[in-house]
Amino acid sequence: MKIALMPNLSKQNAHTYTVRIIKRLLELQCEIFLYAKYRDYFDIQAIHFYEDFSDMVRECDAVITIGETARLSMRQSMPLRPQSRF
């Protein structure tokens, strides 16, 4: 499973919790994606960094926000692609 993480590193302990989440998701054999602006904060080889936020979200199966990052700008927000119906 491909997971995009959206940490708000200005929040207390957000970096610590993000590292813990990354390690756990890697144990579960997930692929981890982060926006390129976080490259300097996470020195973990298995992370995929994307320059384009929209491309990153399209690539992933899920997005996890950490530290109250739910307020994404309209530029970053996008509708989810429709899922097939059973």
pLDDT confidence of residue 81? 53
Asked if residue 85 has pLDDT above 60, the reply is: no
Tens digit of each residue's pLDDT (9 = 90 or more) over 13-54: 999 999 999 999 999 999 999 999 999 999 888 999 999 989
Phi-psi region of 49 (alpha: psi -120 to 50; beta: other; left: phi over 0): beta
Q: Report how far residue 7's alpha carbon sits from residue 17's, in angstroms, rounded to the nearest whole number.
A: 9
pLDDT confidence of residue 24? 96
H/E stretch holding 39 reads none
* pTM score, whole prediction: 0.75
Asked if residue 75 has pLDDT above 60, the reply is: no
Asked if residue 80 has pLDDT above 90, the reply is: no
